[in-house]
Structure 1
């Protein structure tokens, strides 16, 4: 009976890791990050299982009277997550990207370890604090620092229609300075083009109207304002 109860407790801890890490991954997925809900759930479940094996599995196999440091396996989770986090960080055109997503993966691993150790209230608290930071603290800091003189736009356009040139001319005419950050080839069923990211500097109060006018240019298929950690 004790073994059955312990197994059901492990199931509850695992489900908690799945749910909490899934919430973190959903937030990243909604922001169109490379590491989304699947990655964060798998990281959380793996961390949870490693912790359970370290705390319960190995001592049970070794038997009574054998000294075992329960932190030895779980401690390696931190090292392994470092490799995953490095995989989503990139540096291009003097800009570092993916730091927040790498931190989210690290938090998901920590939440998984906490769930595996049975510390469900602490895991839930850390998850709630994650959302507080990314949804409330970050916008508040941006407002306090008044970082409202520049932003990054991502635009997808068709080749052969002069859409990029018209967009740059429109931005310049509205008093904005533009700088192309990156360009990637794109194609659809009946069109070829590219996706460009451009840094725009100027009076952000008029940016919405400028974007509306850009979206009406012939050949522009999509345009959006990126979050600062993108």
Structure 2
């Protein structure tokens, strides 16, 4: 078996993939997503290695006499990352979560492949554009369009006091469109009731006042704001 020596360019490619994909993973880690810095580094470094093996390793081992398509191994990285990205996407009560994290994993793989191919300026450019998109463009679009956003709250209330009906009426008065996402029974120490998750569509500036008014309803035991994926 022929041993392919390690070159300085190979080391630079791996380190570049580690640093750039680590930055992408750090952003996901800071937002407390399931796939964080370790996942993105491993995806980037692994993609870099597959690309290097496909471009340099196999031709060096089999020799120039054998025809080899350098894209054969690297192309399978795209398929594999697709399955990995699907693992962080899940559907919960009509809400799809994890799409941005799955895209970040996809970008990390692409950056790793670019490093493995020696395309360091392009890998650096794509990493920079990733941060422009997630930190600047997305908030800018929301600000320009001034879209109403959806918020999910969980209201725990005692039966027999009409608390849920009053909560829905109050939300409507504050300008929110409401939708019941889920509900389940709750047994307190001296009361029985239910916990219902409500999706509110409206402006964030009105959410605090709406929650405050719902909390004052007779029979409401607890109210929580559930986070949404971005």
Aligned residues: 210
Superposed CA deviations along residues 15-69 of structure 1, whole A, max 9, x for unmatched, are 1111111111111122222222221111111100101111111111112332221
Trace 1:62-81 onto structure 2 (pairs within 5 A): 62-81=62-81
Q: Point out where structure 2 has 5 or more consecutive residues left out of the alignment.
A: 185-194
Asked if the contact 1:54/1:74 (under 8 Å) is kept, the reply is: yes
Per the alignment, do residues 200 and 160 of structure 1 end up closer, same or farther by CA in structure 2, a change over 3 Å counting?
closer
For 1:85 and 1:94, the matched residues in 2 are separated by 20
In structure 2, relative to structure 1, the CA distance for the partners of 1:198 and 1:15 (3 Å cut) is farther
**Structure-2 residue corresponding to 1:134:** 134
Report the TM-score when normalising by structure 1: 0.74
Equivalent position to 1:173, from 157, 170, 194 = 170
Contact 1:85 1:102 in 2 (8 A): yes
How far apart in 1 are the matches of 2:79 and 2:55? 18
Aligned to 1:64, what secondary structure does the other structure show?
coil
Q: What's the CA shift for 1:99?
A: 1.8
Q: Aligned-residue CA RMSD in angstroms?
A: 3.4
Equivalent residue runs for 1:106-121 within 5 Å? 106-121=106-121
- Off by >6 Å, runs of 4+ in structure 1: 159-162, 165-168, 212-218
Rounded to whole Å, the distance in 2 between the matches of 1:26 and 1:154 is 29
Cα distance in structure 2, aligned partners of 1:168 and 1:135: 39
Which one has a bigger Cα radius of gyration?
Answer: 2
Give the match's secondary structure for 2:7: helix
Q: Runs of 5+ in structure 1 lacking a partner?
A: 185-194
Q: Tell me what 1:189 maps to.
A: none
